[in-house]
Structure 1
Amino acid sequence: MALQRVVKPKTQRSKRALENRAPKIHENDKNAMIIKGGQTSQVIIDVLKDIYALKKMNSVLYKKKNITRPFEDTSSVEFFSQRSDSSLLLFGSHSKKRPHNLVFGRFFDYHILDMAEFGVEKFKGMSEFKKEKCCLGTKPCLVFNGLEFSEDPQLLRIKNLFIDFFRGPVVKNITLQGLEHVLSFSYVNEKILLRSYKIMLKKSGQKTPRIELDEIGPSLDLSIRRTKLASDDLFKKACKVPKAAKERKVKNKSQDVFGNVHGQIHMTPQDMSKLQIRKRKALKNDEESPKRSKKSIV
């Protein structure tokens, strides 16, 4: 077995780039590659542009056409994944056999982990909704409607794939004003309906505002065509969390919903009889009080 040659960076810029790609305990936000196939329709081009607008902060859009088929040969998309340091994939193509075709995928160690192929049955772009859009980089709320997303093993993995693709940057806290975007996935008649809404906070006369949803696009009706899912062992290996990233449970220490830390102290029982206090006659027991001398009665 030949040893792999290690190339040392010559500049500080290349050194920072290699350190950014190196494995970390807490990984960077996942980037998505958005690729056009050799033949694409106008519908697919508009879909790729709208999804790129949703993930503009963490995505790379390849404008040139790439003659590749991810389900038949994964070498080309795996090469692009390693080149752009991306772990998510959206591939669009169009053919007579598979019209208006979309492929969602994700990588593990620069190799394909999961892929799902969908057909776009109906599409309505963001430009057709003449309404105010959400701010760039807004973290969306993901809503999944349908028992099939929690019961069907295939849809359960597709749900996990959509969460990985659309969840946005990882944040610890978020304000109420920051919740302004909702992505809804509904399973109806063997189709997945993707809808995008903006949260409108209205006055309600109380402290909590009244919430209304205003559709802003894009709107997609997707039919499932093919899937290529990882085995249970490989999926478990990809989801493994390092020990250093796990939060260690501290004994006798808890935290409430408001963030206050409470501690519990264990003490041995105290002997109150040995407690140093001011001794008064009223507090003395009969046994401790000196015995009175009995006067003889004459």
Structure 2
Amino acid sequence: MVMQRVVKPKTQQGRRALELREPKIVENNKKTMVMRGGKTSESINNALKDLYSLKKPEAVMLSKKNDARPFEDETHLEKMSKKLDASLFLYGSHTKKRPNNLVIGRMFNHQVLDMFELGADNYQSLASFANSKTSMGSKPCLIFNGADWDSTAEYQRLKNLFVDFFRGPAIEKIRLMGLEQALTFTLSEGKIYARNYKILLKKSGLRTPRVELEEIGPSFDFVIRRHKLASDHMYKDALKIPRTIKPKKKKNISHDVFGSKLGRVHMQKQDVKKMQIRKMKGLKATREEKKAKLKALKAAGE
């Protein structure tokens, strides 16, 4: 068994840096590291810059080339993840065997959890669309088209990875005017068509505006080349939620399909005959009924 030496920080700045990296009940926003491989094409370089612009400010782009092979050796990615405290990564490369190659993945405890190698075809950059762009840091609306996303475990995990990669910071509420961007992923016949749109809210003559989509780029036609999925045990550990933030279940309270809150009240069994009810004139016996009752009692006594 190899014992790891624990290095204690010598400065206040180093102590604060280690505290920021410690496990938290509510984790920080996920940071993405964008890196180039040893050999890249102009198309891949522009694609990495465009995807980096979509991820800013929660992203860092490495200027130096990284001659790594993620599917053969993961140590370099894990080392850079620990150094930059990044849990998402995007790696671009270009070779004769695998042209215009993008590897997208995520980490758990600075170890590779999932990663997919995608071939990027028919790439169109942000600059090729001459129209206004969305503001930096805007939270996109993610749309997945196609029934095949739930057909296999491979597509389900890739869909989950896209959501994790592009969703942005977790928020509780968002106003209608804050929806500026829509990312669509259409799966058809083994190809994934990724498109980026700007959401335009125009007058409709009603209270709700008319929604129109304007493509602003970048756009890709992805093809899955290779993938590596985490084991069931590791994936289960990554999905664990601390008990302190789990919503406490309230007894005898439920919700119907319409969202209405329903409550159940438990009471002791009551004898309806002994209940004191409010006397009403309409329920009182008339004189004829009282005379008939007395006559019946006298007849029964004789």
Band of TM-score, shorter chain: 0.7 to 0.9
Equivalent residue, structure 2, for 1:176: 176
- Between stretches 257-266 and 24-33, larger displacement belongs to 257-266
**Residues of 1 paired with 2:13 and 2:285: CA distance?**
83
Equivalent residue, structure 2, for 1:159: 159
Matches of residues 125-136 of structure 1 in structure 2 within 5 Å?
A: 125-136=125-136
CA gap of 1:156–1:260, structure 2 versus 1, over 3 A, is closer
How many Å apart are 1:55 and its aligned residue? Answer: 0.3
**Residues of 1 paired with 2:176 and 2:79: CA distance?**
41
- Tell me how large the CA RMSD over aligned residues is: 2.8
How many Å apart are 1:258 and its aligned residue? Answer: 12
**Residues of 2 paired with 1:252 and 1:178: CA distance?**
37
Matches of residues 203-242 of structure 1 in structure 2 within 5 Å?
A: 203-242=203-242
Letter in 1 for 2:219: S
Equivalent residue, structure 2, for 1:295: none
Equivalent residue, structure 2, for 1:34: 34
**Residues of 1 paired with 2:187 and 2:89: CA distance?**
22
Equivalent residue, structure 1, for 2:293: none
CA gap of 1:171–1:259, structure 2 versus 1, over 3 A, is farther
**Residues of 2 paired with 1:135 and 1:74: CA distance?**
34
Letter in 2 for 1:17: A
Matches of residues 20-99 of structure 1 in structure 2 within 5 Å?
A: 20-99=20-99
**Residues of 2 paired with 1:118 and 1:280: CA distance?**
81
CA gap of 1:65–1:205, structure 2 versus 1, over 3 A, is same
Letter in 2 for 1:165: F
Equivalent residue, structure 2, for 1:291: none
Letter in 1 for 2:73: D
**Residues of 1 paired with 2:282 and 2:225: CA distance?**
90
Equivalent residue, structure 2, for 1:10: 10
CA gap of 1:162–1:284, structure 2 versus 1, over 3 A, is same
Letter in 2 for 1:88: L
**Residues of 2 paired with 1:26 and 1:12: CA distance?**
24
Letter in 1 for 2:42: Q
How many Å apart are 1:232 and its aligned residue? Answer: 2.2
**Residues of 1 paired with 2:144 and 2:167: CA distance?**
13
Deviations 1:18-73 (A, max 9, x none): 12111112211111110100111000000000000000121110011111111111
How many Å apart are 1:146 and its aligned residue? Answer: 1.1
Letter in 2 for 1:235: Y
- Between stretches 95-104 and 242-251, larger displacement belongs to 242-251
TM-score (norm 2): 0.85
Equivalent residue, structure 1, for 2:249: 249
**Residues of 2 paired with 1:93 and 1:255: CA distance?**
51
How many Å apart are 1:113 and its aligned residue? Answer: 1.1
CA gap of 1:125–1:143, structure 2 versus 1, over 3 A, is same
**Residues of 2 paired with 1:47 and 1:276: CA distance?**
79
**Residues of 1 paired with 2:166 and 2:4: CA distance?**
36
Letter in 1 for 2:91: F
CA gap of 1:121–1:281, structure 2 versus 1, over 3 A, is closer
Deviations 1:90-119 (A, max 9, x none): 000011111111001111111111111111
Deviations 1:212-246 (A, max 9, x none): 11111101111111111112222222212222221
TM-score (norm 1): 0.86
Letter in 2 for 1:123: Y
Letter in 2 for 1:125: S
The runs of 5 or more residues in structure 2 that have no matched partner are: 287-302
The runs of 5 or more residues in structure 1 that have no matched partner are: 287-298
Deviations 1:231-282 (A, max 9, x none): 22222222122222211111244689999987665455788978799x9999
Letter in 1 for 2:225: R
How many Å apart are 1:15 and its aligned residue? Answer: 2.2
